[in-house]
Each structure stands twice: as structure tokens, then as C-alpha cells.
Structure 1
Amino acid sequence: MSAIGHTMSELPGELHLFSPTGPPIEERVAPIFVECLSEHDVGDILVLKRFPTGIETFTDILATHVDTVERPEVMSLTRFARTILEASPQNPTLVSQHERAAVLASVLSEYEWADSFLQQASAFDAFEDDVGRFTLAAAWQNQNVDPNDSSLTELFDFTAHLQEVLATNGYAERASIIPRALEYLEAETARPPILDQFDVILTVEVEEFSALERRFLAAASTDTDLVCVGERHGSIQRVRNEPGDITDHLRMETIDHDSSRPISGPAQVAAYLTTGEAPQLAATDGLFEITEETFADQVQTVAEEIERRRTTEGWSYDEFAVVLKDSSSPIQETVRILQQAGIPTASITTSALSDDPAARELYHVARSLESGGDDQSRTLLEARVPDFTTILDDDELATEPVSNALTTWVLDTDLKQRVAANESRLEARIQFQHIGRILDLARFVEDCPLLDSSWDAFCQALERAFRYSAPDFYSEVDVKEGGVLVDSARVVKNASWKAVFVLNVVEEEYPAVPRFSSLFPIAQLKSLPEYPAVTSPTRDEVRETFPTADDDINHPFSAYYTELSRRLLAVGANAATDQLYFCTYTENAADPGKYKQPSRFLQQLRDQFEFDSITHEDVHSQGRAATRVLSSVDRALQDVRTAPVTGGDVDLNAIETQFGAIQQLLDETDDPGLEAAFEAHVDFAEGRVRRD
């Protein structure tokens, strides 16, 4: 039984229920929004989304139904809670995830663990990341639990300690916004001003609301009409900690919408994966399969197919999405391979700071000033700014506050002008954002009383930011527009793209053994239902949550997460409006001889649908060989370059052997462009030139 079980919430108002597949959510919500407009002005209606992704598109669609210039007010649930919290007497300063990581490291360094297991675990490098993810999930859920495990009890105690430290110093992390806003609403008699602005709260994606979030919604809508929109059997977030359908947990006046049967091929695939619904006989086009030898080859073919479709269909980059299962999937590596192929990308799970030449430049400036002249950093800076010594060797610069010194570097070396001159408009915009984030982090390190305002403290904070990836159960920011989205299935839920490529549809991924934490093995987690973002269901709860579950369930825990993998695959499929690609590879390049099998779900789909195989014969020759060589150059240089940041080990002998083989290829080739391309890749990797 899960720790939360079936927590029933009763809310006034209406609950509109849809099937989890079919038209985009904004098209389903629009008629309900129009109905609200028949009785209220647009300015009196607040639309809440559980996930922050796609808010701009959502707003644009709803705005087409408004006959005035006023746009609908659409907020994420967390942004709404932030606005309420800003009216509280405390009004804490919100810390970013990068800032939170720096504070966590500081608090951990001074914490004395009483539990013997945690004492031993704290000696390992992964401990900080594991505790960081645990405390984030625990703060988000804000459960009152009494675990029957001393290690788990102390982890919850540490979570409370971290929240107390943040609050005492006037800070709040994003995961604690809703609990703190709820506490404020339940304790205060005066309503926050934002609640008096609206007569109706139209809440979307209610199937993902946790017990705490439903309680918050109830508190925020006491004097406001409430209209909710949700999906049956559609949750991928809430079910990580609360089994069952949303109707098992939310009691409202329910209106079932008899959604039109899915028409497009991708929608039919999503319906089959979600509910087992048999496909229609017609309109199953738009389904494709890509099979390659290695993961990198798979992504390369995706890049080629994106460019081909851009040519044949006239689609822009932001009409494509590349979907991986979760945040532990190789999202950053996928981004890197696509960018090497010239494909602009966007992602919220990975910041891509470590791959940004401008961000690396600022890191090496900091390292040089911190160490008094780091040779490697100075060499790399000289490649980008030949006369850098006139700025960096200024004795006063090293004694300046970190943010002031970095700002001086940005201005005096014309960093933003260099980026604008050498990068595309999209890439320049991304690098400008990264520069701003790094300067914000520097100011936080200076101002936060919990941190040492030194160059070393800043460098460590920036290294953590380089390694950061967002967890599966939480995100606050929206997806940036302008590039191919590369992200987890959670991010694409209730959003849509013309073409979607679902990567790694292999047996080890769909389904995969759940990856929760290196602190506790899976066998132990099965007996720890209080562990945040983990569900230990009964057989009945598996069947209640997933209509596709087998009747005969021997291992409920495994069955639950197998079915969740299937639903994540369905979410990826449902994000495609025109073309859906399932992508597989047969061999792990780092572990040759061990072959990957297509996912059991894909094999079932092959029996129900017809998929067209995608091959690009024009690249399965010297061109692909050259691409593989150049990609290996990029990966090798990336490993060497980021080793001081990530702490990873680099086998220089293996890299020397690899470069020796490449040199032999260059000596033997008749293609004069290959050597030039090799040199260009090296120059680009060090930030000396732009990629054309």
C-alpha cells in the first residue's frame, strides 16, 4: 500500500473529464473557457496549469476566443502560489535550482549524521546529488509521515532542517512554494490581493494534482467559482506517489466528455498504449520507425530526418520534438549530437551550460582568478580573447566582488558582441541567457550569508550548475522557443509538435528498472512506502491506476512501473500531430557485443499498426563514416574539457590512440575537406570559431 493511499479531496464546482488522447488540451479547454466567458469578463477568469510547459501556446489559443484586446490570464500552479506567497509578511526570496544546490552543499558540509548508514554513504560523491533529489521531492510533497526506518527518518529530519535554514535566512526553494502558500492561506484571515481579482478559476491538468496541491486549490478557491479539467487514466506525475485514477481522489460534480475517437496515426498509437483501445482501420499513416546500430547513429539519423522534413514540409525547428523517457535518460548527450549536426535545440531538463562556449569562458575566468593563474584556463582564454592578459592580470580584478569582476570581463572583452557576431540569433539568445544566469549565481554567492563569497565558492557553485539536470517530478520554467525540443516525456505532456521522435524504444528503457536513488536498493524501497516520489502499490491499485495492466499480477511494484513506462511512451506518441517516429538502436557503443532488443510495447504496436522504416542511404557510406569520425573528435574534446568541471575520469591513452587512428585516416583520405573539417571541429570545441 502506498504511503498516501486514497486521499479523497472534495471540491465545489465542476470536473470535466476527457480521455488522455486526442486533440491538444487547449482545443478541449477552449469550449469550457468560452462557456465561462458567457458569464464573466476575460479579466475575471484565471486559468491554472499544473505543468508550466506550453503556457504561451495555451494562452494564444484561448485568446482567439476573446473579442477584446485583453489576453487571458494563464499561470502555472507554482507561479500562482508564488504570487500568493508574495503577499505574506515573510515574502521570502526565491532561490533558483543552481542556488539551492550551493546552499544544500553548504548545509550538508556542516551536518552531522546520526544514522550509521548515512554516515558511511556521505563519504561517496553521489551522496550530495541523492540527498538533493530526496529533499526536493520531500519538500514538494510535504508529507506528514512516520517511517519505520532510521535512515529515512533522518533524511526527512534533514529536509526539515534545510527548509528551516532557508526560511531563517529569508529564502524559499521552489519545491516549498505551494506548502508555504497553503500554510499562509490557512493561517490568515485576509485574502491575498490576487484572489480578489478573479471570479472563476479554470484549472487544467487536475489529474496531476497531488493531495497537497488539491488542498491548496481548495484553500485558494473558497470564494471563487472552480472549474476543473482533467483526464481519465492520464497521470504520469501524481501516480509516482499516489496510485489510482484522479476520480479515486477527487469528488466533484463530474461531466464526462465523449471525446471523438482519435483520427491520426499517432493519436491511435497513444490510445492503444494508454487504454488498449484497438486501432481504427483507416488513417494510421504518419507512423515511422528508425533503427540504427548505436545510440549516436540513432540521433544522427534523427537529425538527418529533421532536415529532410524541414525541406519537404517547410516546418520550422520548433515544430519538432525529440523525446526521451525521463531525466536519467541521455538528454544532454542527445542535445550535443544534434547540435554537432547543426540542429538548434531547447530543453528544460538540462541547462546545457557546460556546452556553452560563453559559459565556459566565464568559468575559466573565475578559475584563473581563483587560482592566481590556472595554466589550462589561461590557455583556453587566450584562444578566445588574444589580449586577455590586459584585463585578467589587473591586480584589482581578483580582489573585486565576484559579480563585479565577471561583469568587467563581459564588458571589457565585448563578450556579448562576440557571441552576437559569431552565433546564430537563436544560439546568441541562449548564450545571453546563460551569461545572465551565471552573473545571477555570482551575486547570490556574494549575498547569501550561508555561503563563502569567494572565487572558490563561486567556482564550485558553477560546477554544480554545469552538472545539473531537472528531476522528473518538478520543473518551474517553460520551454524556450526556437529550437527542436529535446526533453523527457513529462515535459511534452499536453503539448504538441508536427513531428515527434521517441528515442531509445528498447527493452531496457520501455520498460526499465526504476531509477530512484543510489542510497537505497529497489528491494528496500519496496518496503519503504514513505519514500517520496515512490509508490508501493497493491495488486488492486495497479489495476485501478492502469487499464492495460494484466489481470494476473505477481509483483505489483514491478508491474506498476512497467505500466508507467508504457504510459510515458503513450505521452510521447500523443505529442505528435502529424508524424511519429519510434527510434531504436541495436548495440551500446561502450559495451559492444551486448545487443538491445526493441521494447515489448513496440513489438505489440507492430502487430497492430504499420510503421514505415526510415533509412538514409546517402549517409551510410563515407559521409556517415566522416560524421562518426568528427563526432568522436567532439566527444573526446568534450570529455577532456569538462573533466575539471564534472570530476570525471578521462583515459588520455585511449584518446591518444583514437586521435592516432584519425590521423591515419586523414593521411590516407583523398578528401581534402575532411582535414579542414577536423581542424574546424577542434577550433569550435575550444570556442575559437563559430559553427556555420
Structure 2
Amino acid sequence: MSSRISNAQQIDGTVYKLPFLGGVPAERIGSIYANLVSKYEASEVLVLKRFPTGIETFTDRLAAVTDGVERPRVRSVNRHAKSLLDSVPDPPTQLSDTERGELAYRFLLRTDWESPYLEQASKHDRFQTDLPRITKVVSWRGEPIQSSHPVLDEIGTHQEAFQEWLEDLGYLERGAVIPRVIDALSTGRIELSALDVSAILVIEFEEFAASDRVYLDRLATHAEGGLHCVAQTDSSIQRVWNESGTVSETITETDADTLGGETIPTRPKAVANLFATGETVSDPDDGAVEIVHEATFRDQVRKVADEIERLREANGWSYDEFAIGFKDANEPISETVRVLQQAGIPTASASVSGFADDPSVRELRTVVQHYASGDAESQTHVAEGVDLDSSLVDMITTEDDSLERALRRYALETGLKERIAADHDPLEAKAQFGHVLDVFGLAEFLDELSIVEATWSELGTTLDRAVKNATAEVQTAEVDVREDGVLVDAVRVMKNASWKAVFMLNLVEGTYPSGPNLTGLFPTTEVASMEDFPGVTDVTASDVRETFSTADGPIQDPFRRYYKELTRRQLAVGSRAATERLYLGLFSEESGELNRQLQPSRYLIEAVEQFPWITGLDHEAIYGQSGAIKFALSRADQALASIRGAGVRGETIDLDEVQRDFGGIQELITASGNRGKKLREAIAARVDFAAGEVRRNE
């Protein structure tokens, strides 16, 4: 999409500017909200938020600021649009991301490509993910692709045909909800009683793309109190993927006063401000910024885990007062979650659900595969303590021909829910219950899908694809973050929220900054020249400067510079979320690359040069389980090596010291339950190995 046409249409309303460090939006907009509520009922004032995450926290804060009797009416823009669409006669069924992906895959199988380029590309496995990602963005954009580029134009034709096919089936994908509601509002298909709004207050307006703004304009024509939008400067990280520039010119009136002056109360905020604006300030002398620099990525995460436990012990903080941020959902969020969970730290994520790694999902996949094999006489081990015998298979498959009901019957007969609750902590159990429901939902979807036969084999392949593509897409995630765990997520999920300690990881060249990565379907140089590609492509130097205040100096390659500045802003928004402590993490060795050393991010170097109070994280005490396990195993190795070599070297070994260390390890093992049992087995294996014995699991 050409960046120059995205801001052409103005909407009627007022925009209020909130500085980058203007404070928590829910607290700063209190006066605007209170003024609207004084004129209308609280239930008549609709507060719209671009991102769905943090809705409850935002609502609580807004209610506290205004001290109102009624709870503020806060909605995400997409969920509000969905509620309006449900009010029309015979509304379409909205697809989940997993269901949309399944139908996109099946439609690809029906497609015959005219261009040799797409015909050849369609033979590669990656095509099945690359093409749906492009068409998904097109759906959210709300504008068809009409390009002079023949291959891109054929993709646009494919997308239009896919939408018509979905409509014939009675489905609507999430990204198409807002464009569909805009059409319904324009044609009068939505009753005014369904709107039930007198005034509209919009936050995160800087993230509202062109179709979102048209939606606001249609709503505002039915709201006598008008449209009031709050835009935070230097903060857009989602919209600027699709259009350049700012939103100030897209609305008819700008309030003369910003919502308060900028303040820089802490060192983390000072660093965030440098990343966002390029401006430096004097030392706030409050808070801390430290660098976590380790040899490998996993070492970096283990160090973070240990620091989390240290801060919890020192300050009494809960796990949900920590966040670990990454540039986007393509970063190793899943691996980070696994390392933290191995260290005994509960996690939460909106971008990565853990669906692919969930033991309950693996169990249900095994059950589905067993049913699909048709071998009812075999006895299959599907989980610890659970065997599928022929009588159970016969009972489930003969008494119900519904995939969804049969799976639910299996879960009931084998006590799946009870086993999950007994074997996992409450946070992990809650996540697994959700994943089990996701599998049931996918089975129900196939039961109702008219274009395929609902067989166990079909469910097996569908579930395999769902597991393969379990990471939520950046454009469409519509889930709230689970509470009580350390947040591990992309920066966009962290926006407009705060944590006592934030760890921004992977501050290396190639990540901060990184170049444009819009699609794997075309070479980057070709994408840069595609005027109608669904994303920012044909930008000029003035487009870059208008969008990013940090884009100073000469700009030789506007396209690449644009996305480098975007990664800097992502780093700024993530860093801003830290209230007391900010950690900037990096590692030195590239995984899988022989002796390749990574270089620190230029943005990290700039921050260190500007702020001498940024220090390295430097303590060797053991606080977390990962550190304790590492110490226990290494101490066992060290003790064995010392004792075995003492006679050769003529040294004296203090066995009392060794005994004290192992006594402490024994206390750790006893206190750690099942993890302690595994640690005891690991130490025993080390000792046996040192004695020349090899132990094999049966």
C-alpha cells in the first residue's frame, strides 16, 4: 500500500496529544472522561482501545481516577465491532485464527495459479504460511489489492475470491469484521438502538489505521457528544507497519494543549525517552538500568530468571510484576518461556500460548491419531497412567459420531481434567484447560464444516497444522494476557501497561535494528518497489522523518531506514513499561553459527555513552532454581574431580567442606518436591558416569 494515500481522509473529531512520557493513559485522560460523563451517563460514553490486552487493568485505573459509581464502558475496537455485527439479521460466524488458517490452507489447495512465479512458489511448504500472512493483512486493511504488479494483482484476486468463498460458507475472518461493519453502518443494516452511545473517547489513537478511523467516523455520526481521540506521540508501533506518518492530520481538530508536560522521574524512563526521541536528560537519580550480557541466548535467559528470583526475595514482588519484552512475535518467545518454566518460574504470554508444547494437547493428538489408524484392537499408551484399550475405543467411537463429543467423552472417561489439576500448579492447569477447549473447538469446527467429511484423519491433520502454526499472528491477536506469571511477549502487548522490572532482551545488531521483513514470498528489493503491497513500501526520506522523530541526518535508503527506526521505537515502548528497574540484555554467540560473534546494538551503545549510570548486572549469589540446579550439578562434578585427582597432585581435600555443600544440596532436593527428585537422579547419574558406569532409561 502506498504510504502517501493512507492519511487522505479526515474524520470529524478532536485529537488530544499525550507526550511519550505523559504518564499512564488511564490516569491522564481522567479529566476528558469525567467531562463527558458529566454531560452523559457513564453507560453512554464508549471508551475504545485499539489493543485488547490490558482492558480490565485500564478500566480499573480509569474508574479509580474518576471515582465514578458506574464502571467505565471500555471495549477493544474489534470486539465492539463484532458486537454490532452480531446485531444484524443472520450474522456470519467469526472464525478464530486457527480456523481461518485451516480454511486458507484448504482454499489454497483449490487454487490454480496463472503466473509461473506463483505456480512455482506454491510447490514450497513455506508458501502455505507466506501467502495467508499477506492476505490476512489485506483483510485488516479493508482495501483490495489493485496493483500494476501482475503477481501481486493475482494475489489480490485470490484474496477477493477467498472472501467470497468464506461468505458462501457463512464465515467471516477476524480482520474483515471492521470493514464489514462499516458497510453495514453505511447501508443502515445496523439499528441505532444497537449503537447506544452518546460520546466516544478513543485511546491509542496513534495505532488506528485507515479502516479503523473510518469505523470511528461512522460511529461518531450517531453520537451527539462527538469523537474525542487521545494520541501518544512517538508511540505508534502497529499502525506504522501499514502506513507512514502520524495521525494528527487525519482528524479535523487538534486540542491546543497537550495532556500535561513530559516528566522523566526515573532512569528507565530516561533511557526509554532517549530511544524514542533521541533526547537526553540529566540523571533522575531514581530507579536502575542494568545490562545483562551473557555468552549465549539461553545463558541470558537463565541470568534473567535468577535476577527475577533475587528481586522477589529482596522486595517481595510477585511474578506478575515482571515482564520480558521482545521486538516482535518472531523472536524466541517460546524458547524463553521454556527456559523460565524449567527454572520453576510461571509465565504468561498473548503471542505464544504454549499450545504446541502442552502435554494435554499432545495426549489428545495421540488419541486422535489412534482413532484415525482404525486399529481398535491395539492398546496404546497415550499419557502417564493412561492406556487406550479396545473396550474404551469401541465405547467412544460407536456411541457418538461427533468428533467433538467423542473427545469430550475420552476426557471424561480418563479423568483428563482431574489429572491436569492434580499434576500442575493453578496457572499451568488453567492454561492447559484452555488448550483442551481449543482442541474441542477445532473438532467442533470440523463437525460443522460442510466442505470436508468430519473424520479422525481430517482432525489429525488439522490439529497438526494448528500445532505447527500455534504462534498468534501480530496483526490479529485478540486475547488477554493471563495473570500471575512473568509476562514474556512482544512489545506491542506491553504497550500502555507497566511492570516494576522489565527485561528487554536480544539488544544486538540485526535485531535492534533489523531490516524490513514483510514477506518471504518476494525479494526485499522487489517489495520495496511494490506501491500496492499491504505494508509500508514506497517511502521517501520525508515519509521517514515525518513518522520518526529520531530519523535525523542523511537518509540514503528510506525503505530500510524506515524499518530500522521502527525497531528503535519498539525498544523505546518496551523500555517505557519499566517503573523501577530496566534490564537491557544481549548475548555474544550466534546459535548454529561457527564462532560468529554478535555485536551489541548501536542503540544500547548510544545509551551507555549518554548515561554513565547504566551498569552491568554483577552478582554471583544463587537465588533461583535454575541457578541452584546449575550449582548442584557443577559442585558434584567439581567434588568428584578434586577427590579423584587429589592423590595424583598430592593435595589435601577438606571432606567436611564437601559434606557441607552436599548437605545444602540435600536440603534443596528435599524442599523441591518432584524437581528435587529429578535433580537427585541427575546427580546420581553424574556420579555413576564418573565411576565409569553408563545408565540408560528403560
Change (3 A) 1:680 1:83: farther
Q: Which residue of 2 aligns with 1:599?
A: 601
Q: Distance in 2 between matches of 1:624 and 1:232?
A: 41
2:51·2:76 contact (CA, 8 Å) conserved in 1?
A: yes
2:147·2:532 contact (CA, 8 Å) conserved in 1?
A: yes
C-alpha displacement of 1:533: 2.6
1:4·1:241 contact (CA, 8 Å) conserved in 2?
A: no
Change (3 A) 1:514 1:395: same
1:5·1:243 contact (CA, 8 Å) conserved in 2?
A: no
C-alpha displacement of 1:202: 0.6
Letter in 2 for 1:455: W
Of residues 317-326 and 458-467 in structure 1, the stretch that sits farther from structure 2 once superposed is 458-467
Letter in 1 for 2:233: R
Structure 2 matches for 1:138-537, cutoff 5 A?
A: 138-188=138-188, 191-195=191-195, 197-224=196-223, 225-257=226-258, 258-283=260-285, 285-373=287-375, 378-379=380-381, 381-386=382-387, 390-392=391-393, 394=395, 396-397=397-398, 400-467=401-468, 468-537=470-539
C-alpha displacement of 1:29: 1.9
Letter in 1 for 2:411: V
Q: Distance in 2 between matches of 1:453 and 1:680?
A: 46
C-alpha displacement of 1:375: 12
Letter in 2 for 1:370: A
Residue 617 of structure 1: SS of its match in structure 2?
coil
C-alpha displacement of 1:238: 1.2
Which blocks of at least 5 consecutive residues in structure 1 are unaligned?
631-660, 682-692
Q: Which residue of 2 aligns with 1:81?
A: 81
Letter in 2 for 1:173: E
Q: Distance in 2 between matches of 1:515 and 1:595?
A: 23
Scaled by the length of structure 1, the TM-score of the pair is 0.88
C-alpha displacement of 1:65: 4.0
Q: Which residue of 2 aligns with 1:613?
A: 616
When the two chains are superposed, the root-mean-square deviation of aligned CA atoms in Å is 2.9
Structure 2 matches for 1:7-86, cutoff 5 A?
A: 7-67=7-67, 69-86=69-86
Q: Distance in 2 between matches of 1:281 and 1:218?
A: 44
Which blocks of at least 5 consecutive residues in structure 2 are unaligned?
645-657, 670-674, 683-698
Residue 417 of structure 1: SS of its match in structure 2?
helix
Change (3 A) 1:389 1:315: farther
Change (3 A) 1:49 1:255: farther
C-alpha displacement of 1:621: 14
Letter in 2 for 1:200: A
Change (3 A) 1:271 1:290: same
C-alpha displacement of 1:111: 1.1
1:87·1:193 contact (CA, 8 Å) conserved in 2?
A: no
1:279·1:608 contact (CA, 8 Å) conserved in 2?
A: no
Q: Distance in 1 between matches of 2:589 and 2:631?
A: 15
Q: Distance in 1 between matches of 2:475 and 2:459?
A: 28
Letter in 2 for 1:420: A
Q: Distance in 2 between matches of 1:378 and 1:56?
A: 45
Q: Distance in 1 between matches of 2:546 and 2:133?
A: 28
Q: Distance in 2 between matches of 1:376 and 1:431?
A: 28
Residue 384 of structure 2: SS of its match in structure 1?
helix
C-alpha displacement of 1:291: 0.6
Structure 2 matches for 1:647-658, cutoff 5 A?
A: none
1:369·1:398 contact (CA, 8 Å) conserved in 2?
A: no
Q: How many residues align?
A: 647
Q: Distance in 2 between matches of 1:293 and 1:13?
A: 52
Q: Which residue of 2 aligns with 1:645?
A: none
C-alpha displacement of 1:607: 1.1
2:323·2:502 contact (CA, 8 Å) conserved in 1?
A: yes
Residue 38 of structure 1: SS of its match in structure 2?
helix
Q: Which residue of 2 aligns with 1:121?
A: 121
Q: Distance in 1 between matches of 2:375 and 2:316?
A: 50
C-alpha displacement of 1:13: 3.0
Letter in 1 for 2:347: T
2:378·2:389 contact (CA, 8 Å) conserved in 1?
A: no
1:598-634 alpha-carbon deviations (Å, 9 max, x no partner):
100000000112223223424699975954999xxxx
1:172-219 alpha-carbon deviations (Å, 9 max, x no partner):
110000010001111116634332x22111111111111111111101
Q: Distance in 1 between matches of 2:524 and 2:399?
A: 48
Q: Which residue of 2 aligns with 1:689?
A: none
1:564-598 alpha-carbon deviations (Å, 9 max, x no partner):
01000001101111111110001023224101111
Structure whose CA Rg is larger: 2
C-alpha displacement of 1:397: 4.9
Change (3 A) 1:17 1:620: closer
1:93·1:171 contact (CA, 8 Å) conserved in 2?
A: yes
Of residues 360-369 and 231-240 in structure 1, the stretch that sits farther from structure 2 once superposed is 231-240
C-alpha displacement of 1:515: 2.0
1:106·1:450 contact (CA, 8 Å) conserved in 2?
A: no
Of residues 226-235 and 529-538 in structure 1, the stretch that sits farther from structure 2 once superposed is 529-538
Letter in 1 for 2:211: L
C-alpha displacement of 1:497: 1.2
Q: Distance in 1 between matches of 2:116 and 2:153?
A: 13
Change (3 A) 1:586 1:148: same
C-alpha displacement of 1:471: 2.3
Q: Distance in 1 between matches of 2:479 and 2:388?
A: 38
Change (3 A) 1:387 1:141: closer
Change (3 A) 1:145 1:363: closer
Residue 255 of structure 2: SS of its match in structure 1?
strand
1:34·1:65 contact (CA, 8 Å) conserved in 2?
A: no
C-alpha displacement of 1:313: 1.4
Letter in 2 for 1:216: Y
1:496·1:576 contact (CA, 8 Å) conserved in 2?
A: yes
Letter in 2 for 1:554: Q
Residue 207 of structure 1: SS of its match in structure 2?
helix
Residue 581 of structure 2: SS of its match in structure 1?
strand
Q: Distance in 1 between matches of 2:310 and 2:67?
A: 40
Of residues 219-228 and 290-299 in structure 1, the stretch that sits farther from structure 2 once superposed is 219-228
Scaled by the length of structure 2, the TM-score of the pair is 0.87
C-alpha displacement of 1:394: 4.2
Q: Which residue of 2 aligns with 1:100?
A: 100
Letter in 2 for 1:206: F
Letter in 1 for 2:199: V
1:6·1:248 contact (CA, 8 Å) conserved in 2?
A: no
C-alpha displacement of 1:233: 2.5
C-alpha displacement of 1:326: 0.7
1:14·1:255 contact (CA, 8 Å) conserved in 2?
A: no
Q: Distance in 1 between matches of 2:389 and 2:350?
A: 33
Structure 2 matches for 1:602-681, cutoff 5 A?
A: 602-609=604-611, 610-618=613-621, 627=630, 676-677=677-678
Residue 9 of structure 1: SS of its match in structure 2?
coil
C-alpha displacement of 1:11: 2.8
1:42·1:71 contact (CA, 8 Å) conserved in 2?
A: yes
